[in-house]
Structure 1
Amino acid sequence: MGFKKGRLLIYMLIAAVFAIAVPSAAHAEPSYAKYGKIAMQETANKYPDADIIDYKYEGHFTADGSRTEERFKLWLRGNGAEFGVRVHIFVAADTGQVRDVRIEELRG
């Protein structure tokens, strides 16, 4: 095999690896995604006349010995106003099951 053909083969192999690896990494769901869906659903239930227009994951926190907290900030628009809410999702540390959801309004 000549130098040019070997070089072409290497470029083709590299392209094939990127074609396979990059899309799968781009579509991987973050670990907090299931809790984000819960945060959005609970917020939509509490504010049925408002639209959720923005969403931010604020992080994973230790709540106490048996629970952790997943925290989200959502921005809503409804009834001619925009406002934020912070959603606290408390999760059993050992099982990952949701134990409590609290929503606090952020006005002003």
Structure 2
Amino acid sequence: MAIKPSKGFIYLLIVAVFVFGVPSEAHAEPSYAKYGRAAMQETANRYPDANIIDYKYEGHFETSGARNEERFRLWLRGSGGEFGVRVHVYVAADTGQVRNVELEEIAR
């Protein structure tokens, strides 16, 4: 004689599959995340004595047919005080590979 699962058990099992088994967009990494990591790494290399205390993605900009720009603004705190850095990450339009990273201080 087989054991029949109750309707409540089946309902809980279905809910559990949807809650735990279906990836949520809230947990998905944003499309610009790898470029943000490149921006933070380049900034840390340029300003080794400063700490990055804030980060903002300013957007995606099409600069030419061959490359695009992902722009970030980082706020740093160092021994001389706080200052901002705008980071331009230039990316190959066809492959998405980082081609160049430029930094400019925007406030001190």
Aligned pairs for 1:73-88 within 5 A: 73-88=73-88
Partner residue in 1 for 2:3: none
Instruction: Name the one with the larger helix percent.
Output: 1
Q: Secondary structure at the match of 1:29?
A: coil
Amino acid at match of 1:64: S
Q: Secondary structure at the match of 2:22?
A: helix
Cα RMSD over matched residues? 1.9
Amino acid at match of 1:55: Y
Q: Percent identity?
A: 63
Partner residue in 1 for 2:72: 72
Return the TM-score normalized by structure 2.
0.82
Structure 1 spans left out of the alignment, 5+ residues: none
Amino acid at match of 1:82: E
Q: Does 1:43 align with 2:43?
A: yes
Q: How far does residue 20 in structure 1 lie from its aligned partner after superposition?
A: 1.5
Return the TM-score normalized by structure 1.
0.82
Structure 2 spans left out of the alignment, 5+ residues: 1-5
Amino acid at match of 2:43: T
Amino acid at match of 1:62: E
